[in-house]
Amino acid sequence: MKKFKEKFVGDSYEKLVAIKNNRLHNLIEKYVLLCNPDKITVCTDRIEDAQYIRTRAIEGGEEHKLTLDGHTLHFDGYFDQARDKKNTKFLIAKDAEFDPGLNTVNRDEGLEEITEIMDDIMQGKELYIRFFCLGPVDSEFSIPAVQLTDSAYVAHSEGLLYRTGYKQFSNIKDSERFFFLIHSAGELEGGVSKNIHNRRVYIDLKENIVYSTNTQYGGNTIGLKKLSMRLAIQLASREGWLTEHMFVMGVHGSNNRVTYFTGAYPSMCGKTSTSMIPGETIIGDDIAYLRKMDGKINAVNVERGIFGIIGGINSKDDPLIWDILNKEGEIIFSNILSTDRAEPYWTGKDGEVHTHGINYSGEWNSGKIDDKKNEIPASHPNARFTVNMDLLENTDSRIDDPQGVEVGGIIYGGRDSHTTVPIIEAFDWAHGVFTMGASLESETTAATLGKSGVRKHNPMSNLDFLSIPLSRYLQNYIDFAKNLDNIPPIFAVNYFLNDAVGDPITDKLAKRVWLKWMELRVHGDIGAIKTPVGLIPRYEDLKPLFSEVLGQDLSEELYTEIFTLRVPENISKIERIKNIYQNKIPNTPKELINALDEQEKRLKKAKKQYGDYIPPQKFIE
């Protein structure tokens, strides 16, 4: 085994020791000696270092050039196409406080296992050490993070998705407030991870370390994404701020007014499409940090790029994303089809339907089946694109503002075909947190899980990533609003409400109107109708918005159908949510149950007066 210092290439060792942080040095030396790479490259913030990573990804066969300049294609293994929930575990001590449903392993046992798996795992490989900053650099929001990986693809992806942080590390001196992430793809066969049976993603909350082995899929390996998010949720809980699964976007009003919204939506509920609506601006599409600053709530995008699902993206529904995916620029496509002309093709793409090429299963022809007799699609349902937001024409100018942007409103969105109206505003912060955020449900779709209509409870769309008890997370929300001068309103949206025969009541584009209505409500420019479950739009306000934004005439008949209160369905939802919190979530804040009880009383009173299905006009005072 080479000595530690001898493994460093060129001036890499000097780059490392220039950072004066003993804990960082000790951790790197510990895991270098354990994993035993042949050589080590340390990257700074320089463009030349980023270019070296891109070159190594091509030379090592982890990425392949496509026709357009800057476009590359990466394949994960056939059985390595998604987050490994089973083997993603928290390392916790016996006395730690966690919800029973959380996937955990005893810390000592987990560390022993992962140490055994990582022993000599990088032998014969090059280790890349990259420094990043979660959130804007030199900011109250900043969290430095260092990634060790033997995958140039992972190092390249993170270079697109995050702000470089070598300088940030140089400034923190001996602070221990940073995240340490170590990944190895393990032994490769045909360019992909071979030992999937030893795929592990372990999260050590005590030391703020993430371990990832024998996997290449981004959700398991790009440690700064949802893996660091779990670390940040606990850190935020200790320090009094929030880490949220939210977009941050600017909605543009009159007189050049820009109002910033955050939004949490479960998968397949319209989160990315909302944040990318033409005419508005985006700061981030996935993760946000929220802090109290000068009596207000400010938010930043933790990331600087997008790791997005590519399936179904077309020129009509997603014009802004479509544009960047079809012009030159640095983009990594993963697990799509490379056509015979080395062009990217994905399910739902405009134009020619391709029947032959190379995809994550190898050489592919239409109709190809796997060992279980399942047909293999041209591109995987979880196929992705990775791009830096500098390529987007609608990126907001304040994306790197160290102060973040003031949050004007918070949105919770779900997929609900039967109950919730398309847009509604909470009475106040607690009402929104408990009856909208904490009660968020989403119906599964046949396209994603094989069974449609199953409601999944996903509070704040953050349940999969919580590293603290849900009860504490909800209490943090209530405490967060204390001592604020300006508390943003909370809204709930539902783009999937059906009529009596099961057809959508509104089309996908209506979300543009709901955003404009929310922007006007934030500034008190229009009124609203008070119902038992929240505040809904007035017809006289929506009619001109539909005309101005969509060029559509909203009839009063359709308005009535859209906003009719479905009392039995709403009462059923309250009963479902109360059952979950009362029977499955220890130490649920009593205020949550009280808020649901009060909403149920209001609904039953309205039912007694007006019946099961109440048109909005009945609530006009």
Active site residues: 269
- Reference 517, options 495, 491, 552; nearest CA is 491
The C-alpha atoms of residue 316 and residue 303 are separated, in whole angstroms, by: 27
C-alpha torsion angle, residues 42, 45, 46, 47 (rounded to 10): 110
* Paired strand residues for 203: 90, 210
The C-alpha atoms of residue 432 and residue 534 are separated, in whole angstroms, by: 9
The C-alpha atoms of residue 88 and residue 102 are separated, in whole angstroms, by: 10
Q: Which residues contact 346 (CB under 8 A, 6 or more apart)?
A: 310, 311, 313, 333, 336, 337, 378, 379, 383
- H helix runs in 505-589, sequence order: 511-522, 539-545, 556-563, 567-584
With 0-12 / 13-18 / 19 or more C-beta atoms within 10 angstroms meaning exposed / middle / buried, residue 309 is middle
Contact assessment for residue 440 and residue 455, using Cβ atoms and an 8 Å cutoff: no
Residue with tokens 């007694």: 608
- How many CB atoms within 10 Å of residue 94? 7
Tokens of 251: 């909605």
Spacing of C-alpha 133 from chain mean position: 17
Q: Categorise residue 23: left if φ over 0, alpha if ψ from -120 to 50, beta otherwise.
A: alpha
The amino acid occupying position 82 is: A
The amino acid occupying position 313 is: I
CB under 8 A, 24+ apart: contacts of 228-231: 228/134, 228/143, 228/145, 228/179, 228/181, 229/287, 229/302, 229/465, 230/90, 230/203, 230/205, 230/465, 230/466, 230/467, 231/179, 231/203, 231/205, 231/467
Q: If DSSP codes are grouped into helix, strand and coil, which group holds residue 226? A: helix
